């Protein structure tokens, strides 16, 4: 390697006129080079990115460094914490001999610091609760999440139309289930008169899909109070952006719930945020750890929806960063939208691994300084292949980067520290109160109860009339009837009549 030429190439490629964050220092021949720092311009952080690498190669610490750097610049972060190892960013780190030696190689100062953190949840974990209503999803998004066919999607649209026309708010899963049961049974005739015939096979299929979603604890997510995405974009009194950590370490066996939440979040952010094009810096950066959980069981329609949002959301000032073990976990349509790539080491144990490494290597710009397919297996912990987009949107030269150490704690918070952080949150009282106002479930229940009571009253009146006792006849009346209907009286009467007619 021509070291002098390499240094000039990297210096030119990673020097920017506008503001930036620092990831670490460039490496050559497995050694960090002092003062040759790797920067990322704030202007292109909304062009999305990929952070990949095998387990134990330092991905989490890289995300921690990026989150800290963004927070310092006043840019809020939302972090999907699948493994539960990110909470330490709320506490100050500790200077160690290893860290000081590492930073000395790059000639990069190190100062421990803590950052403002909000702990969030969509499951049974402790934290500020994130919710959304069924109505906010709408029939199209909900149909794609449930993987409904065209006929079933049409029925879902009819359900939303019926609820809009009859002022039946759809807030949670029990609302939607109640409406489906109503239009299939008691309200079937009215629905057919007003909207056309609804197949019971379609409503049955939708109910089964809802039950599948409910079994992954989606009933905890759907409801009120809906989370305002502007609460993800807070800045503390020192000008640092909040690092919002969504606690998801109990969600790995609930991929449907995770993908439902992610699609809802991205759609809500896209619909809420104003169009701003390429601004000086993003308004929010979202890190999606274990990204394969979103794509693993997603239908074609759902993947198309995610791909569309990824393409469009950058113009709203939002940066998305997918974290996964292998770049092949991310669909090609999404991968093509990612401007920043940080590739930690991959391991080649099988033929499948070697093919994956070859594919990963082909995703990087060509370089005369590294043989990418070889260097990708030789990276140490906390080292990564890096390329970003410069201010003109052009990929920077590929470089091996020694990632700087996090300024915050590299270990997790204790349960006591976590509880204390949640108790101090100003958002806790806003979102953790259970709200169950009158909606479709209660209104239909009242309607059916009233109809049942009316039917019972009508039936009771009819029964009362038919079962009423006859008035008791007097003794005198009974005697007269007895005489008039006796055989003797009848023969006598006929005898008299016969004599009259003979005359």
- Tell me 458's DSSP state: H
Give, to the nearest 10 degrees, the angle between helix 200-214 and helix 173-184: 160
**Per-residue pLDDT tens listing for the chain (503 residues):** 688 999 999 999 999 999 999 999 999 988 999 999 999 999 999 999 999 998 889 999 999 999 999 999 999 999 998 888 899 999 999 999 999 999 999 999 999 999 999 999 988 888 999 988 999 888 988 888 888 999 999 999 999 999 999 899 999 999 999 999 988 888 888 888 888 888 889 999 999 999 988 888 888 888 888 899 999 999 999 999 999 999 988 777 777 777 778 888 888 888 888 887 767 899 999 999 888 877 776 677 778 878 888 888 888 999 999 999 888 888 888 888 899 999 999 887 777 778 878 888 887 888 888 888 889 989 999 999 999 999 999 999 999 999 999 999 999 999 999 999 999 999 998 998 878 888 888 888 888 788 777 666 666 666 666 655 554 455 555 555 554 555 554 555 545 444 444 45
The phi, psi pair for 268, rounded to 5°, reads -65, -45
Q: Taking Cα atoms as reference points, which of 284, 384, 468, 352 lies closest to residue 25?
A: 384
What is the three-state SS of 169-195?
CCCCHHHHHHHHHHHHCCCHHHHHHHH
- Residue 402 β-bridge partners: 25, 383
Q: Which sequence spans correspond to the domains of the chain?
A: 21-131+225-413, 134-220
- Tell me 44's DSSP state: G
Token pair 């909000």: residue: 118
Q: What angle do CA 326, 327, 328 make, to 5 degrees?
A: 90
* Pairwise CA distance, residues 61 & 80, whole Å: 14
The phi, psi pair for 24, rounded to 5°, reads 170, -150
Is beta strand 243-247 parallel, antiparallel or unpaired with respect to 77-81? Answer: parallel
Token pair 């007003």: residue: 194
Q: Taking Cα atoms as reference points, which of 443, 435, 445, 368 lies closest to residue 399?
A: 368
Q: Taking Cα atoms as reference points, which of 225, 279, 292, 221 lies closest to residue 252?
A: 292
* Pairwise CA distance, residues 344 & 176, whole Å: 45
Q: What angle do CA 128, 132, 133 make, to 5 degrees?
A: 140
* Pairwise CA distance, residues 57 & 172, whole Å: 41
The pLDDT score that the predictor gives to residue 500 is 46
What beta strand segments (E) does 234-388 contain?
243-247, 284-288, 318-324, 340-343, 383-387
Q: Taking Cα atoms as reference points, which of 284, 172, 263 lies closest to residue 225?
A: 172
Tokens of 460: 């009771």
Bond prior to 387 in cis (omega within 30° of 0): no
- Rounding to the nearest 10 degrees, give the CA dihedral for residues 82, 349, 332, 358: 140
The pLDDT score that the predictor gives to residue 109 is 93
Does 3.40.50.300 match the CATH number of domain 21-131+225-413? yes
What single string gives the DSSP state of each residue in 228-277? PGGGGS-B-TTSPBPEEEEE-TT-TT-HHHHHHHHHHHHHHHHHHSPP--
The pLDDT score that the predictor gives to residue 496 is 45
The pLDDT score that the predictor gives to residue 446 is 86
Token pair 């001999």: residue: 97
Task: Give alpha helix (H) positions in 112-172.
Answer: 134-145, 150-165
């Amino acid at each position: 390697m021509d070291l002098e030429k390499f240094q000039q190439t990297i210096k030119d490629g990673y020097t920017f006129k506008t503001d930036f964050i620092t990831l670490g220092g460039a490496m050559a021949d497995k050694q960090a080079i002092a003062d040759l720092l790797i920067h990322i311009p704030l202007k292109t952080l909304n062009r999305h990115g990929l952070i990949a690498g095998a387990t134990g190669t330092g991905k989490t610490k890289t995300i921690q460094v990026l989150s800290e750097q963004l927070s310092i610049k006043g840019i809020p972060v939302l972090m999907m914490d699948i493994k539960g190892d990110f909470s330490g960013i709320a506490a100050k780190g500790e200077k160690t001999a290893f860290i000081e030696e590492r930073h000395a190689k790059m000639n990069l100062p190190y100062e421990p610091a803590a950052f403002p953190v909000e702990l969030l949840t969509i499951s049974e974990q402790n934290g500020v609760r994130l919710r959304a209503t069924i109505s906010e999803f709408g029939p199209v998004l909900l149909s794609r999440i449930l993987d409904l066919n065209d006929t079933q999607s049409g029925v879902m649209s009819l359900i939303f139309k019926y609820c809009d026309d009859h002022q039946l708010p759809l807030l949670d899963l029990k609302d939607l289930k109640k409406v489906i049961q109503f239009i299939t049974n008691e309200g079937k005739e009215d629905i057919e008169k007003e909207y056309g015939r609804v197949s019971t096979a379609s409503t049955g299929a939708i109910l089964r899909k809802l039950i599948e979603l409910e079994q992954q604890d989606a009933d905890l997510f759907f409801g009120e109070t809906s989370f305002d995405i502007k609460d993800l974009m807070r800045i503390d009194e020192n000008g640092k952006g909040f690092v919002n950590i969504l606690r998801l370490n109990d969600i790995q066996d609930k991929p449907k719930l995770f993908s439902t939440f992610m699609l809802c979040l991205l759609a809500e952010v896209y619909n809420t945020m104003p169009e701003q094009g390429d601004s000086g810096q993003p308004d929010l950066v979202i890190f999606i750890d274990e990204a394969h959980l979103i794509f693993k069981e997603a239908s074609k329609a759902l993947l198309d929806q995610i791909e569309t949002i990824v393409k469009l959301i950058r113009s709203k000032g939002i940066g998305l960063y997918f974290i996964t073990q292998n770049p092949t976990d991310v669909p090609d349509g999404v991968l093509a939208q990612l401007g920043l790539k940080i590739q930690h080491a991959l391991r080649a144990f099988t033929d499948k691994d070697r093919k994956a490494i070859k594919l990963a290597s082909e995703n990087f710009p060509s370089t005369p300084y590294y043989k990418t397919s070889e260097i990708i297996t030789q990276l140490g912990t906390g080292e990564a292949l890096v390329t970003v987009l410069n201010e003109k949107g052009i990929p920077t030269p590929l470089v091996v980067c020694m990632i700087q150490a996090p300024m915050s704690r590299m270990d997790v918070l204790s349960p006591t520290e976590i509880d204390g952080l949640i108790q101090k949150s100003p958002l806790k009282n806003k979102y953790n109160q259970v709200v169950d106002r009158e909606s479709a479930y209660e209104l239909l229940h009242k309607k059916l109860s009233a109809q049942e009571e009316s039917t019972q009253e009508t039936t009771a009146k009819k029964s009362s009339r038919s079962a009423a006792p006859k008035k008791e006849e007097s003794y005198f009346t009974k005697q007269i009837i007895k005489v008039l209907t006796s055989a003797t009286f009848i023969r006598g009467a006929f005898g008299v009549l016969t004599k009259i007619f003979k005359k």
